[in-house]
Amino acid sequence: KQWYQRRVRGDTPLRYLGYANEVGEAFRNVVHRNIVRASYLVSGSYVLADAASKARQDYVSEGGRPVRMFTDVLIWQGLASVAVPGFTINRICWAVGRAAHGLPAKQRSLLVTGCGLAAIPFIIKPIDRGVDMLMDRAMRPYVLKYIDA
């Protein structure tokens, strides 16, 4: 496939950019807040690129509905790749930091960051399933059906 024919999310290594904000959240206690903000910018850019890529694919296919596809992918990716995992890692790191309040600051920071990073692989599938369920039961039948009808 040509580079413009591949979907960003599944077909290229760019899909890993969607995890940037989770890594940023894991490092929140040891880096400047602008680094964490930049990680969200990277993830958000990935979400937009994936939505545009999928909409383009839908546009070139016969009978496609690119506006609906763009909106669907944008909402799904926004929730599953940015909002929910970022919040989840943030709260995991917060809880570990609270639980480790008796440790020296350097050890506590390493523990918090390590636990945040270690949690990433375990939260992905449950979050994806939850967002799939939300999209299938609420967004697609009640909201997205009116877009590009």
Tens-place pLDDT, residues 66-83? 899 999 999 999 999 999
Q: How far is CA 127 from the centre of its chain?
A: 10
Query: What's the confidence (pLDDT) of residue 3?
Result: 46
| Residue type for position 146 | Y
Query: What's the confidence (pLDDT) of residue 9?
Result: 54
pLDDT at residue 62 tops 50: yes
- For residue 114, give the H/E element and its range: helix 105-134
Query: What's the confidence (pLDDT) of residue 149?
Result: 59
Q: Which of 138, 87, 96 is nearest to 114 (CA)?
A: 96
Condensed to tens digits (0 to 9), the pLDDT of residues 83-132 reads 999 999 999 999 999 999 999 999 999 999 999 999 999 999 999 999 99
Do 10 and 57 touch, CB atoms closer than 8 A? no
Question: CA–CA separation, 86 vs 92, rounded Å?
Answer: 10
pLDDT at residue 4 tops 70: no
Report the predicted TM-score, pTM, of the whole model to 2 decimal places: 0.87
Question: CA–CA separation, 91 vs 116, rounded Å?
Answer: 9
- For residue 57, give the H/E element and its range: helix 33-60
